[in-house]
Structure 1
Amino acid sequence: MDASLAPDARADLLLSAMTLEEKVDLATGESCLLYGFYNAPIARLAIPALTMTDGPAGIRIPYRRVNDGRATLLPAPIALAATWDPDLAAVQGDVLGSEAFSTGHNVLLGPTLDLARLPLAGRNFETFGEDPLLASRMAVAVIQGIQRHPVLATAKHYSTYTQERDRFTVDERVDERWLHELYLRPFESAVRDGHVAAVMCGFNRVNGVFACEDRALLRDVLDGELGFDGYVMSDWGGTHTTLGAAAAGLDQELAFGKYFGWALFDAVQGGAVAAPMVDAKARRIVRSMLGHGLFDQPVQEGPLPDAEHGQRSREIGEQGIVLLQNAGGLLPLDASAVHSIAVIGADAANASTEGGGAARVEPTYAVTPLDGVRERAGGGVRVDYAAGTDPITAAHLLPGLPPVPSSVLSPPGASAHGLEAEYWSNTRFDGDPDIRRVDGQVAVSLGFFSYQSVNASSVPQSLVQYTLSRFSARWTGTLTAPATGPFQFSLTTRGRGWLWIDGSLVIDDSVSHDLGSKTATVQLVAGERHAIRIDYAADADAIGTKTDVGGDVMLGWEVPAGTVFPSVREAARLAAADDLAIVVVRDYGTEERDRPSLALPGDQDQLVREVAAANPRTIVVLMTGQPVDMPWLGSVAAVVEAWYPGQEQGRAIARVLFGDVNPSGKLPITFPRTLADTPAASQGVASDAVGPVLTFSEGGLLGYRWYDARGLGPLFPFGHGLSYTSFRYDGAELTSPASPADAWRVGFTITNAGPRDGTEVAQVYAEACGGDPEAAPKQLAGFAKVSLRAGESRRVSVDVDPRSRSSWSATAHAWQPASCTPTVYVGSSSRDLRLTAGAAASSGGAPGQAPPTGTSPTGTSPGGGGPAGGSRGGCGQSGDGGLGVGLALWALFSRRRRR
């Protein structure tokens, strides 16, 4: 406990005093009802507990005894990446580290360093986008912000974790070159520049080997090549063998203790695992704890600075908002010139729009977009509201047809929209229902996708049991046909389900208990009312597997062409009567499920089309975690990408719409025109004895590189983002390095040529040297965020990232620097490049794009281009009545052997 000693010396002293059982205990994580994910203290040696929390966008507290389970909801990492501002990333990291410490946690399971390879990946919102340089710089700043506090940051998920589908078994096949040049680069920066304390290996396989048992990746690359001196933990369920994981370099198994714990203890006692191997694991863990102050500054629980951290969340959210389109200069809004505004969209009145799964946070408070607009517009502007559609939930990720909207449903004897719902805590509909209420839609997806504290407003307390146990449910009422013609109904279930219309059994899905859909076509006449009943039994045997548990059921349909739902018509009528309309739409991103398509879920596309037809002064606010289709783009005046912007979402959006903040966000991910244009569309999926085999056939053409190499025009390119002012670029000059250790440097002048103060993210792209046929035409090599007053000019200097001029040799297993003079391009996005410097300065533009134009567009979108039960103890009884759904869920998986 002598803090004057170096961490290595203290770790050696501590290790010499530990028993084998204590070392194995330290290498074995637990899932504890009171503390969540947890390693209990070893009091004999003053080793503090490792109390872990998820935290991509805020601290997830799965119990109510601490701050009522609430923490500051920050913008999603994809929104943070859209700021292109490492200083703001450090602020977000500082809030995360501070709140982790003040809520009793000293290990934060983040940030996520995976690259957004697939546009449908469920966790894209947790990433910093598709470019390794941008992701690296943002991640390093977040890590440094977290570790300013006695809290260990965890870089995850090592490595090539790029999808949720089949995530426990998928084999991601990627060439050594692209593994190093793309997917390992953020981890390299996290280790070398961020000095991250821990790394979490993913569920997936990499080139045939599970990531947590991949000796080449863990020992040879992470420890050897990158020089990592922290410790490696597994993701939950990411460990598959005792000997393989131990020998590969896994230091800590989370959170079941199935392969470490007593299994590891017995392996050492039996000679299968050498004792020094366990010594090394314990030493790496305690050295990280000592080096980051966990022994000397015990965690504490105390109040959070809600207002201060809420303001930080708002400021980050504002800077991450991207103005995608502004036809006719409708934005910014002038409250003195507007008399009425129609705010449309069910999620405009949603307190917090965020991702699901382990990233979900219960916010300390929240401001809806509707409230934000009303507050900013002031008393002189009438702000009307219509939902138009139903709220978007995890159920919209289920297979099957879109859910039947509440506007065509009514419960017995009531004027409300929806159906009467009854829930039983058994699978036989026996006895009186435990719950009786009105549900807007038959769209329920419980279990891991609702991973949250039981005080979460979106799931009633009385329903929490159904996220974990088997149950049955019945929905009854009336369906009023919105049109005449054939309607195809679908019933999606995990378990058993039945659909009756007018007393006739239309769908019987009682044979297969697996998640799937059955359909039937029914002829209906507009205006006619039909009795409807849906029975569902959540009795699928998913308990104990590595899949989601709980209930999944959805009643969907496909309607005759041209059908417009009553709630959409009502919203369009409201919009027609007001000066302008703001339509708020969203998607739902979550762990464990990828999106079914690029389309906005539910009836939101129809809502935008009808509102835009009623009022051409329509602004669409996207609250999404990834790219989406925009079939209505040419019909609306303005489009703003707000992402999942945090608990101050309403104020952040309103301040940008009304011009209090001049938008400066830039896309960290390409928005494709169609899914067919993406690299994922060109590759098939094979399988082996373990699971699917997915080959990264695009090689190094990740994200915008693919579109450049294939000559494809995205809907919105990487780096795109408009402003309420305009910027002119002039005078690019490339300076050679003074020594081999220095970088090439490009200088240029930016002028704010418009009428407003504003901020520009100037981007530098480097062309590949030497005619490498596999290399991308260009890649991001640097960027600078510059704030300028109207009319102001500034000379800017940006270092050209050395890695943008190097390639990884799979033969030499080393980086090969380029010897040529680089050609660099400077501009406002990957497709809006204004200046050229270097070897090809006279060429007039970047490969595959039009010549530079000189001034940033402000109007339309771009045209193309320890052993459990061992010596530690401490998990005990929770006694707080606020047991988190996620904790109990994982407890179901635990099969710990006890002595």
Structure 2
Amino acid sequence: MLSHAIWVGLLACSTAFAQDFSTSPPVYPSPPTQGLDWEAAFAQAQAFVSNLTLEEKAQLVTGTSGPCVGNIGAIERLGFNGLCLQDGPLAIRQATYASVFPAGLTTAASWDRSLMYQRGFLMGTEFKNKGAHVALGPVVAPLGRSAYDGRNWEGFSPDPYLTGVAAEETITGMQDTGLQACLKHFIGYEQETQRNPSLSADNITIESVSSNIDDRTIHELYLWPFANGVHAGVSSIMCSYNRINGSYACQNSKTMNGILKGELGFQGYVMSDWGGTHSGVASVNAGLDMDMPGPISSDQNSSYFGGNVTQAVNNGTVNETRLDDMVLRIMTPYFFYNQSQYPPIDGEEPALASSFPPYVYQFTLGPANVDVRDEHQQLIRALGAAGTVLLKNVNNTLPLSAPKTIGIFGNDAGDLVDGEYFSGPAFQSQYGYEYGNLPVAGGSGTGRLSYLVSPLEAIKARAIQDGTLVQYILNNTLITTPGGLATILPVPEICFVFLKTWASEGIDRIGLEPDWNSTGVVESVTSFCNNTVVITHSGGLNVMPWANNPNVTAILAAHLPGQESGNSLVDILYGVVNPNGKLPYTIAFNESDYDYAPITNSTELLETEDPNAWQSNFTEGLLIDYRHFDYYNISVAFEFGFGLSYTTFEMSDLTINTIAVGNISAFPDASPIIPGGNPSLWGILYTVNVTVTNTGNTTGAAVPQVYLSLPQIPGEDPTPLNVLRNFDKIYLDAGQSQSVILPLARRDLSYWDTGLQQWVIPSGPIGVNAGFSSRDFRQSTQITVVA
């Protein structure tokens, strides 16, 4: 077997011309795994593969019908009981008696590595105890190029560094339980519209949208968090529905063979998104290792893989060593996590998957309705509060102190009325359901609630303790009708307006304001109540045209907090928790400010007869979210990284310490590759040291952030003015100071040189800015690595 270094050298011959914006060059063959970091398990997998027939090998790479969302059939003679794959990134979507955790968006808003890990660990525990071998999550694509993407909430942030940290912590937490994580969707999956092929009026197949991305942008933006995931040892990666530079993601040899398995040294297996496979031989040779769900239709025998793989090996179009590598990649993490000794699949699953045809393979089912929730609501409540961002707080409106009267308004405040989330819905209409709090959005990333604590319920429970009068109207139509608030008497001391924004897999958002006539609701309540607090629960960012209304005295972005929604919020409102969430995205003044990255969609495209008409050109390059607003000096309502507290913080004493020894400016040797790529990229070169002081009168958490200002590269597209490159969350008592050390790795200081096909530290000074948001720098200095 060729060494990985030789494979990388061979790949370099294919990747050296990879700068063409509109093409995806071929990269063959698919690099074989060596089981790096999994050596003992790799040896077990090799022994296992040596005992398989050709037909059994084909079976192991092909999904089948079964009790789970995805299934790999058992091979009883070898003691292999099969694989159970389950959605999703925040809960076991189809399971009873399981927790619904805060969404990825909420998790990113916490800016808390420890909570990210704990969430992953507790989710992993629940998946494992329900018999799921693989969790289909976390999500890092969509990254969030477009504010309108219907699945942004499943992921973390449009910033690749923050998303990379959240992904790595989540994966580590999940896999520390013995569960396999599946990082998705690889790569450039940045819209729902035309994500799958469609048929024209004349029955012509119109191909999926093609994300056309230049080489530098792929590496520095969309690949960055996948590198974190591979570095964390993620077991599997799911390829996406879209095309990339004209080639379908699940048969794109450049991205799978060249970048993922070559540059990043990924040792696990690549599975298709459900229905994302469009060929057999071409996909196998391009690097796809597992076809999901297997059958093309309800006919179990109709598959691009399965018998077609067997036939392809027999006729020589697929080398059997490639098939062996596919199986090795699948079985190595199975043995590494000792999944031959594993809890059985919850016996309730067949009822939840009743739409499947009869199973071809037997699956070991255990007791039904196993309760895996334990005390996980405590973490859910804490993370829901940590991911809530205080955006405005005039004259210390919050926290509350036993108000005499409270008014609650808006259709997001109350309990669910139609059982929407107790049946685990996958998809809803454009605006979702009208009545009930929004704890999580829709699609395969949703969850099946065992209960929901609504904001109204939680506020009423606290009001009983304080003797507070609580009045409420949850009908948005009534609220916006003249005289609709006449029944509220007396005028409340403080009013809460609850707004929500639905989002879901399968559809992109058509606006960025909260839904259900939200602006009209705010205007109506503020004309009646001059002390109004607005709370949003949203499947993405919202513009807030009412933010500067003088009667809006406080704003909270509560995101998607999961099943403890109301309790998390009340902890913030009453000061049990000092707000410490920070925005993981930018809130602009106007929807039009986000036009730099539109969802590709038009009447002409919807009516096209051209099979390849759907082209999404990522012409903004690296300039998305705060990078765009900073580069073009555009004013924003609330910047990336911003979030208020009930206390105040200062920062001082910025110093830079050199950690690496030797010539750190030298071009790094590209071998040997480790999971995550060139090992030198992960080495720490410097630390940024700052002192943070709580200058207020209450305990609180600060999030010091470090942004680097790399020089513009001659002949290249614009480099962002500042990029996040580290952060931490620290808790300080009133008056307390703490020194914070924030490391900088080589890749943090580098850019992707498209000519050299390498990460390179630029020459000249690099600005180092430390502060509390992307536009609140408190300390600055420079370092020069390459003179």
Q: Is the 8 A contact 2:145 2:597 kept in 1?
A: no
Cα deviation, 1:448-492, whole Å, max 9, x if unaligned, reads xxxxxxxxxxxxxxxxxxxxxxxxxxxxxxxxxxxxxxxxxxxxx
Residue of structure 2 equivalent to 1:524: none
Partner residue in 2 for 1:621: 535
Q: Within 5 Å, which residues of 2 pair with 1:135-214? A: 135-168=163-196, 169-192=208-231, 194-214=232-252
Could you tell me which of 326, 330, 342 is aligned with 2:393? 326
Taking the TM superposition and a 5 Å limit, the aligned residue runs for 1:430-445 are: none
Name the residue aligned to 1:732. 654
- So what's the TM-score if we normalise by structure 2? 0.80
Q: Match of 2:560, SS?
A: coil
Cα pair 1:172 1:204 within 8 Å, conserved: yes
Cα separation, partners in 2 of 1:269 and 1:681, compared to 1, 3 Å: closer
**Greater shift in the superposed pair: 576-585 or 618-627:** 576-585
Determine whether 1:368 maps to 2:465. Answer: no
2:360 is aligned to none
**How far apart are the structure 1 equivalents of 2:345 and 2:64?**
21
Match of 1:266 among 305, 311, 314: 311
Gap change, CA 1:684 and 1:286, over 3 Å in 2 = closer
Secondary structure of the corresponding residue to residue 684 of structure 2:
coil
Identify which of 693, 708, 714 aligns with 2:630: 708
Output the CA distance in 2 between the equivalents of 1:40 and 1:684.
39
CA contact 2:105–2:156 (8 Å) conserved in 1: yes
Task: Work out the CA distance in 1 between the residues paired with 2:573 and 2:593.
Answer: 31
Q: 1:248 aligns with which of 286, 299, 312?
A: 286
The yes-or-no answer on 1:599 pairing with 2:513 is: yes
Shift of 1:801: 4.1
- Within 5 Å, give how 1:485-524 maps onto structure 2: none
Corresponding residue to 2:444 among 333, 341, 358 = 358
- Count of residue correspondences: 654
CA distance in 2, matches of 1:680, 1:307: 45
Letter in 2 for 1:58: A
* Secondary structure in structure 1 of the residue aligned to 2:541: coil
Among 459, 473, 487, which residue is 1:386 paired with?
473
Cα distance in 1 between the residues matched to 2:319 and 2:485: 69
The aligned runs of 1:537-548 (5 Å cut-off) are none
Distance 1:276 1:735 in 2: 49
Tell me which residue corresponds to 2:547. Answer: 633
Match of 1:12 in 2: 46
Shift of 1:52: 1.0
Q: What is the CA distance between 1:309 and its match in structure 2? A: 0.6
Match of 1:29 in 2: 63
Query: Does residue 1:342 correspond to 2:407, yes or no?
Result: yes
List aligned pairs for 1:558-573, cutoff 5 A.
565-566=480-481, 569-571=483-485
In 1, the alpha carbon distance for the partners of 2:508 and 2:489 equals 33
User: Offset of 1:266 from its aligned partner?
Assistant: 2.4
CA contact (8 A) 2:499 2:515 kept: no
**Secondary structure at 1:348's aligned position in 2?**
coil
Query: What amino acid does structure 2 have at the position aligned with 1:834?
Result: R
Query: Which of residues 636, 639, 654 in structure 2 aligns to 1:717?
Result: 639
C-alpha contact (below 8 Å) 2:480/2:524 kept by paired residues = no
1:771 Cα deviation after fit: 5.7
Cα RMSD, aligned residues only: 2.1
Q: Does the CA-based 8 Å contact 2:453-2:564 persist in structure 1?
A: yes
Q: Is the 8 A contact 2:623 2:631 kept in 1?
A: yes
Distance 1:30 1:822 in 2: 53
Tell me what 1:73 maps to.
Answer: 100
Residue of structure 1 equivalent to 2:679: none
1:692 aligns with 2:614: yes
User: Can you list the C-alpha shifts for 1:22-46, whole angstroms capped at 9, x where unaligned?
Assistant: 11111111243x3332112111111
Note the C-alpha offset of 1:264.
Answer: 2.1
- What amino acid does structure 2 have at the position aligned with 1:213? Q
Letter in structure 1 aligned against 2:587:
F
Instruction: State the 1:684 CA deviation.
Output: 6.9
1:85-96 mapped onto 2 (5 Å cutoff): 85-96=112-123
One-letter identity of the residue aligned with 1:808: W
- Aligned residue among 744, 755, 760 for 2:697: 755
Deviation at 1:818, TM superposition (A): 2.7
The alignment status of 1:789 with 2:733, answered yes or no, reads yes
1:211-230 superposed matches below 5 A: 211-230=249-268
Equivalent pair of 1:323/1:665 in contact (CA under 8 Å): yes
Amino acid at match of 2:133: N
Distance 1:833 1:677 in 2: 23
Residue 199 (structure 2) aligns with:
none
1:178-205: CA deviations, max 9, x gaps?
Answer: 100110011111011x100000000001
1:274-328 Cα shifts (integer Å, max 9, x gaps)? 2222221112111121112212334464743535111111111111110011122
Q: Given that residues 45 and 331 in structure 2 are in contact (C-alpha distance below 8 angstroms), is that contact kept between their aligned partners in structure 1? A: yes
Q: Is the 8 A contact 2:97 2:372 kept in 1?
A: no
- Counterpart residue identity of residue 85, structure 2: M
Q: Tell me the equivalent position of 2:677.
A: none
Deviation at 1:642, TM superposition (A): 0.5
Q: Indicate the SS of the match to 2:330.
A: helix
Q: Which residue of 1 aligns with 2:338?
A: 293
| Counterpart-to-counterpart distance in 2, 1:107 and 1:250 | 17
Q: Which residue is 2:201 aligned to?
A: none
* Structure 1 residue identity aligned to 2:324: D
State the one-letter code of the partner of 1:363. L
Q: Aligned in 2, Cα 1:329/1:712: closer, same or farther, shift over 3 Å? A: same
Gapped regions of structure 2 (runs ≥ 5): 1-37, 197-207, 296-302, 347-366, 417-437, 665-682
Change (3 A) 1:718 1:572: farther
Give secondary structure in 2 for the equivalent of 1:346: coil
Indicate the residue corresponding to 2:363 in structure 1: none
Check the 8 A contact 2:193/2:600 in 1, yes or no: no
Residue by residue over 1:517-556, the C-alpha shift from the partner in whole angstroms, topping out at 9 and shown as x without a partner, is: xxxxxxxxxxxxxxxxxxxxxxxxxxxxxxxxxxxxxxxx
Cα offset, 1:715, TM superposition: 1.8
Amino acid in the other structure paired with 1:824:
V
The TM-score, its normalising length taken from structure 1, stands at 0.70
Relative to structure 1, the CA distance from residue 128 to residue 682 in structure 2 (aligned partners, 3 Å threshold; closer, same or farther) is: closer
SS at match of 2:218: helix
Residue 810 to residue 600, structure 1, CA distance change in 2 (3 Å): same
Q: Distance in 2 between matches of 1:572 and 1:179?
A: 56
- SS for the counterpart of 2:406 is strand
Contact 2:102 2:383 in 1 (8 A): yes
Give secondary structure in 2 for the equivalent of 1:623: strand
Partners of 1:154 and 1:196 within 8 A in 2 = yes
Task: Supply the distance in 2 between the matched residues of 1:683 and 1:797 (Cα, whole angstroms).
Answer: 40
Q: Secondary structure at the match of 2:562?
A: coil
Paired residue secondary structure (1:157): strand
Deviation per residue, 1:122-177 (Å, 9 max, x gap):
00101110111111111111001111122110000000111111112010011100
Deviation for aligned residue 1:674: 1.6
- Does residue 768 in structure 1 map to residue 710 in structure 2? yes
Contact 1:768 1:778 (8 Å CA) reproduced: yes
Q: Tell me which of 579, 586, 600 is aligned to 1:670.
A: 586
- Alpha-carbon shift at residue 770 of structure 1 (Å): 5.7
Q: CA deviation at 1:5?
A: 9.1
Q: In the TM superposition, what is the alpha-carbon distance from 1:732 to its structure 2 partner?
A: 1.3
Does the aligned pair in 2 maintain the 1:150–1:292 contact within 8 Å? yes
Going from structure 1 to structure 2, the CA distance change for 1:565 and 1:780 (only over 3 Å counts) comes to closer
1:569 offset after TM fit, Å? 4.2
Deviations 1:551-590 (A, max 9, x none): xxxxxxxxxxxxx844x74347528621111111101111
